[in-house]
Structures are given as structure tokens and as C-alpha cells.
Structure 1
Amino acid sequence: MSEKTIAISRRRLLQAGAALGGAYLLPGIMNAVWAAGSDGPEQSQVKVGFIPLTDCASVVMASVKGFDKKYGITIVPSKEASWAAVRDKMVSGELDAAHVLYGLVYGLEMGIAGKQQSMANLMTLNNNGQAISLSMDLAKQGVTEASGLKKLIAGKAPGTFTFAHTFPTGTHAMWLYYWLANAGIHPFNDVRTVVVPPPQMVMNMRIGNMVGFCVGEPWNQRAINDGIGYTAATSQSIWPDHPEKILGTRSAWVEQNPNTARALVAAILETSRWIDANDDNRRETASVLAGRAYLNTKADYLTGRMLGQYDNGLGKKWQDEHAMHFFRDGEVTFPWLSDGMWFLTQHRRWGLLDHDPDYLAIARRINRIDVYQQAASAVGNVAVPANHMRSSRLMDGSTWNGSNPAAYAASFAIKR
């Protein structure tokens, strides 16, 4: 690499960091905790759970493409039936780590998603790429967006309409609640909400168990292809470039296997960069994920939205600039403290927490930036931000930057 190329790359990384509210440290500048080859992984195999969703891509492809072997481990992907199963197996130690909902890990730490367990978030696996689907029955009644839904619900008894998400403290619940509340619909008082595993969403809408759901892909696209639903909103329309799934594990596992944790993050981090490198890699990823061992569906159901090509099922088509991303020069994968804190504010908003916790201290405890930095150094050419908070603007015009979480949690007109 020429000196000119290095200089351009360095400048671009610093510009990216400035845009996010803080400078970036280049791996060569970091005080690396680990030197390659000096200490091997404690485990040769790492069992990583996943739910059949498009955003499990980096876990699966790390194994399929052999990125794991480069760092001295073998990732064994384990297909799970529900987020509750992921939770139970992760806590029991049957799984070493998992592709998991951000809010599930935080909920376990707080004792509101099951028995309290000290947890760790090793990295973010993706941004964006979820959606809220409504049934075609609603479309026939003239409901094409949230405002129309509000008018329809206003004329019915509370709880007449049922909506589904995937886990009480998870991301899909928070996107659904936020979207409904932004339209003036109280997600607990005006409608009924239920928990349904992702692979069962389409079937349950088909038989009329709910009129809407929030879930990851490919199940929103599947609802369109099956002619039973349409995309009313993408999760990125609620929060552009929002955090979604993370690489979660027990804190004890990280303490017992620090070198394995570093190797696991490094392998998935390098895979994430590979997926985002070009559209051909995304197409290959979609083809692999469609296989029986993973999502067991048609590759066409995955490829379009992986490439940012959206069709809402009612005739609207667009190229989404905030489609699912896995790396984006390290901006996606870094475990931002403010991201974790946001989920705590929503847990507080909806009464899942009965008091304001020490938001920042909890995020610092769970989000293992130390492990991530070591892995980024091992991979090389991964930008690591000096500022561990980022600023985001959500659909209601509110700005979230982690500066005053208690006030933010209390600021919403609709809450519980």
C-alpha cells in the first residue's frame, strides 16, 4: 500500500469519526492488549446460537467461509427455535455465545428478561433491516400507514387488534411500541401485544391471530410474497442506522475464555467486513443463508432487501439508503455505549424497569469495548472510535446521544 493510499484511508477514517461526534483511533495507534500469536484460544470450538433471520449472516458466514479458522477457533452455528430458547441455552452454558436481541441481553442483566445474569455484549452484528408488517385485511380497510391505523383503532374497543413481537425486552418490541406511540396508539392500552417466534409470524398472521407484527427479515418479505401482508414501516424509518442484533454471551464466559472471546469477535468482525464489501458477497451470503441448515427459504426472499431493494407490497418501491449493514468501516460493529443505554430508556419508558438505573455504568459493564478493541487490532484496518457515544435522530424528531437518559426516558407523552 502506498503512502498516499494510507494517508487517504487515515483521513477518511478521521472524517468518519468526526461525523459521529468523536475522532477515530487507527489500530496501529492503539495500545494493543494482544499481540498476534502470543496466546491461543482456551476453546477450539465455540457454539454460537442463532435464530433463522437474515441478520445472523456474519455468524454463519464466519463458519462457512473459514474466517474462524484464521483466528484458531471453529464456530459451530446452532439453529434455535425462539429467543427464549436462546436465552435459556446461553444462560445455562449450552451455548457459548449467540446472535441475539440487544434488549434481551440488557434485560437479563437487569433481571427483567429472566433470572438475573451478568451478561456481555461483544459487538454489534448489524444495523437496520427489520420491519413492521400489517395484514392485507387492514389494507382492504384503507390502512396503509400508522395514521390510518390510528383512525381504525379509535373506533374499536381496546385490545380489539393484536400485534406480535418476538421478545418482551427485545428490539422488535421496542420498534413496534415506538412506532405505535408515535402515531398516538398506546401499545398496552389501545391494542393487544403477544410474543411469537420469528419463523411463526407469517403463519400466525395467515390464520388471523394478529393484524400486525414486527420482526426481522426474511419474514416481512415472506408476508408480501405470500400475499398476506405488507410493510407498513421499516425499523430504519424509526431510527436510521439503529443497532439490532449483537454477539451476546455471559460475562463469566468472557472472564474464563478471554482469548476465545477475542478470537470469536475477530472472526465475525472480519466476516462482517467481507459481507459489506460488495453486492456479490451479499448475494453469496443470501444464497448460503437460504439453505435448509439456516433459514430454509428461497434466496430471492433474502437478496432484495439485503441489497437495499424494497417493495412494500402495495406498489411502492425504493432503494433504501439505510438498509441492513454489517460493518460500514467499523461503525456498525462497535458496541456503542449510547446504543445499550437507549434500550434501558425504553425499558424504563414502558414500565419494565420501575426506577432509573445507572444507565452509563450498566452499559460500560455489559458492552465489552476492551474485547472489541483487541479483536479490531487483531483483524487490522478497523476504525475504533475514541468517543464511545454517538448521536442519533429518531422518527419523532427526538435526538438521542446518551447525555441525559433519565430525562429522555421520562420525556415521552405516551408511556407506561
Structure 2
Amino acid sequence: MNTPLPTLPLAWVNGSDAPEKPCLNIGFMALTDCASVVVAATQGFAQQQGLTLNLHRQASWAGLRDRLLNGELDAAHCLYGLVYAVHLGVGGGPANALAVLMGLNQNAQAINLSPTLQRQGVTSAEALARRVHQGGARLTFAQTFPTGTHAMWLYYWLASLGVHPLRDVDSVVVPPAQMRAHLQAGRIDGFCVGEPWSADAVAEGQGFTLATSQAIWPGHPEKVLACTQDFVTHYPNTARALIRAVLAAARFIEQSQDNRRGTAQLLSGSAYLDSPLGSIQPRLLGDYQDGLGNRWHDPHGLRLFDQGRANLPYLSDGMWFMTQFRRWGILRDDPDYLGVARQVQQLTLYREAAQALGVPCAYSPLRSSLLIDGSRWDGSDPHGYARSFALHALDTTPALRAGR
């Protein structure tokens, strides 16, 4: 990979900007969208900010969550929805104050169906909806964490087809790297997961990609750089330096296609994704083939930087996940949507770090998006938005409310 350009830190009003804690343990999952964290740790970006990042690959999101909370990890590549569930106490345990330092990426997750459904001719969204409503064996879909992004994309997509994700089908949790094995064993009929595991399943003849997450919401928020609120309180300079390191790495990756290819090569190594380059590189570049003979270049593929637009921790992005928790009964009552988002999203730290790098920041912490079902989300009325859908489960079971 090319040698990154040096970054000069700024002096902050409270004195030295030297990191209070220069050596950090950073958790990540074996997913393509951990790219900027891995590049920051291994290609000199962290060192330029006075940091050493020790990367720790995790086997499951639950394990990553637990290590983040008990202090084994200082920060982590994390699911957006996981952060908010833990913060609100619906993540399978008591509430713990977490923080989103920055967004790590937008887009580039996928929903795949099994070879069995493919042989049955269930190769379109409409065919899947007919299969569900015509009866027969109940279908089971996997996602990666009960309150994570993949669960929310799966639920939203199924509901847009008229399929109730909590009543018409079954949903189970499977770690990302195990999706193909579960599909091959016939334990699940489909899954929603991050790359490279969707592309890997297609390459191995284990089904096909029926939908991408960017088809559900072009430019959707996905993974974040997360830590505890205590970390931000005790180590604000470190948090700023960490944001600068990862943000500079994200910018570097998107400076050229060669940098993207070099990143794919790096990620394929045994310490990171431990996956064939052919399963990582095409979709990292935005080049898709779905296993049904269709190929395309996706204009809303993986965005790690996009001139900072993929990284700003918009308040509306955090609020959206809470509206979906309320929609599906994971939250029994409406939270203070804006108030909670202001607690979690570290906008001031991010803006300071971005300014130091000359990365532009949108003026408004809210953004407007049009989703697959024609609904528009702009953060202006989260209470009404959560109730605006034809399919919902505001009266669902206590087990689901607890985030099981």
C-alpha cells in the first residue's frame, strides 16, 4: 500500500493534545467494513497521531460487546444498533453508557437466499413473499445480533414486501463468518450479513444475493467506531486522536482504486478476514454479481469516507435505530429520541478531529433519506415515524423486548 501522508495535529484550547492513553486495544469483526480501522492500525495513521492500536478480532458481536463493557477493549468496530441497544438497556443486559465516535461506513450489506429456494424458483422479492404467504414449511432467516443493523435491514426489507418479520418467519442469530456453514447445513433459508460473507456464499455456490442493504436505504449508516462514555470522559485527547487516525485511513483508502485494491489484499490476510481476495475485492470496489447471472457496478457500494459524509455521526442516524426498536417492540416505550442521540453521538469530538484533517462536516446533524418503501426519514418526528408503518409489533413479547 502507498505510504500515507503525514498529518499534523492541532493544539487544543485545554493545552496539549497528546493522547492520555497512547496504547489502545481495538476490537473488530472479520468484515470488509473494518477496513479503515485495520489500515489505521497497520499503515502508520495511528502512529502519526501518537497512538498504537492493538487489533483484536472477535468471534461474535455479543463477545465484542462484553469485552468493550468490561474494559478489555478500549474501542471497537461496532454495529450501530448494538450501541443504542446497550445504551438503552435492551441489548441483553443492564444499560451501559456507550458513545459513537464516528461512522465507519455506509452501505454494502446483503440478503442472501439458499440454494433450495433458488431451485424452487424463489429468486425475486415477490416470489419470496408468495412463498411465505402460501404456507408450507416456515422459513428461517439469520441476522448477526438481535438489535444490530442486519436485523433491522432484514426486518425492514421483509416488511416492505408485506412479510411480518416477527410473525411470518423465524429469525435467529448467527455470527457473520458462520452464515455459509449454517446455510449449507440447511439450518437457515437465508441471511442478512456484511461482506465478504455474502459474496463468499455466492462464490461457493451456496445460494444467491437477492437484495443489498443499499437498495433498502441508499447511503444508510452501518458500522461505527464505538467506546464507552467513560472512555470519552477520561481520555478525550485519545478519543480525538483515534478519530483522526481512522478518518485519515478512510480518506486514504478512497483516494484511488489502487488503494482500495491494496486494502482488499491486506484484509484477506489470516489476521483479519482470512478470506479469499476474490470474495473481498469486487464488492469493496462496488462490483457485484448475485449468483443468478446478473452483474452490475453499484453506485451506492461500500463508502468508507465519501468526503466525510460516511463518517459524521448524524443525530438522525442514531435516532433511526431507536424508531425501529420501538416499531418492533424491542423498546416498550418511546425514548427521548433526540436527547439520547445527543448523549451517544460524539459530534463535538468528531468535528474537532475532522477540522484538524481538513475534512468537511455537514452543518446539520440531521439528514433526509428515502427508503425502499417510499417513506422519508429526516429525524423531525421520530415518534410519528415509528408508528407510521403498516407492519409493526409494538405489542410484541417480553423476550423480544429484552433483545434476546
- Normalising by structure 1, what TM-score? 0.90
- Aligned partners of 2:100 and 2:225 also within 8 Å: yes
The residue number in structure 1 matching 2:359 is 382
5 Å-filtered alignment, 1:16-415, equals 34=12, 38-113=16-91, 114-156=93-135, 160-379=138-357, 381-415=358-392
Q: What amino acid maps onto 2:12 in structure 1?
A: W
SS in 2 for 1:288: helix
1:357-412 Cα deviation digits (max 9, x unpaired): 11011101100001101211222x20012111000000011110000001000001
Cα drift, residue 33 of structure 1? 8.1
CA distance in 2, matches of 1:196, 1:265: 30
CA distance in 2, matches of 1:124, 1:207: 35
CA distance in 1, matches of 2:85, 2:347: 19
- Aligned partners of 1:135 and 1:230 also within 8 Å: yes
Q: What amino acid maps onto 2:52 in structure 1?
A: T
Cα drift, residue 136 of structure 1? 1.5
Q: What amino acid maps onto 1:107 in structure 2?
A: A
SS in 2 for 1:362: helix
- Aligned partners of 2:112 and 2:211 also within 8 Å: yes
Q: What amino acid maps onto 1:344 in structure 2?
A: M
CA distance in 2, matches of 1:386, 1:298: 41
Cα drift, residue 183 of structure 1? 0.5
- Aligned partners of 1:34 and 1:374 also within 8 Å: no
- Aligned partners of 1:147 and 1:183 also within 8 Å: yes
1:217-259 Cα deviation digits (max 9, x unpaired): 0000011011011000000000001000000110011101101
CA distance in 2, matches of 1:399, 1:243: 15
- Aligned partners of 2:200 and 2:279 also within 8 Å: yes
CA RMSD of aligned residues (A): 1.3
CA distance in 2, matches of 1:214, 1:35: 45
Q: What amino acid maps onto 2:371 in structure 1?
A: L
The residue number in structure 2 matching 1:3 is none
CA distance in 2, matches of 1:109, 1:328: 28
SS in 1 for 2:147: coil
- Aligned partners of 1:49 and 1:78 also within 8 Å: yes
SS in 2 for 1:34: coil
Cα drift, residue 155 of structure 1? 2.1
- Aligned partners of 1:132 and 1:232 also within 8 Å: yes
1:290-342 Cα deviation digits (max 9, x unpaired): 00000111111111001110101101111100000111111110000000000
CA distance in 2, matches of 1:35, 1:79: 36
CA distance in 2, matches of 1:57, 1:375: 19
CA distance in 1, matches of 2:252, 2:263: 10
Cα drift, residue 38 of structure 1? 2.5
CA distance in 1, matches of 2:360, 2:264: 26
Cα drift, residue 39 of structure 1? 2.5
CA distance in 1, matches of 2:15, 2:207: 52
Q: How many residues align?
A: 383
1:250-276 Cα deviation digits (max 9, x unpaired): 001110110100000000000010111
SS in 1 for 2:210: strand
- Aligned partners of 2:11 and 2:17 also within 8 Å: no
Runs of 4+ in 1 over 2 A off after TM superposition: 32-39
- Aligned partners of 2:45 and 2:248 also within 8 Å: yes
Cα drift, residue 107 of structure 1? 0.3
- Normalising by structure 2, what TM-score? 0.93
- Aligned partners of 2:370 and 2:376 also within 8 Å: yes
CA distance in 2, matches of 1:343, 1:41: 32
1:19-76 Cα deviation digits (max 9, x unpaired): xxxxxxxxxxxxx882698331011211110000000000001011110000000111
The residue number in structure 1 matching 2:401 is none
Greater Cα offset, 148-157 or 78-87: 148-157
Unaligned runs of 5+ in 2: 1-9, 394-404
Q: What amino acid maps onto 2:37 in structure 1?
A: V
- Aligned partners of 1:338 and 1:390 also within 8 Å: yes
CA distance in 2, matches of 1:303, 1:35: 43
Percentage of identical aligned residues: 51
1:129-164 Cα deviation digits (max 9, x unpaired): 00000011111111112210111111225x711000
1:85-123 Cα deviation digits (max 9, x unpaired): 010000001000000000000000110002210010000
CA distance in 2, matches of 1:116, 1:209: 32
Unaligned runs of 5+ in 1: 1-31
| Residue 177 to residue 213, structure 1, CA distance change in 2 (3 Å) | same
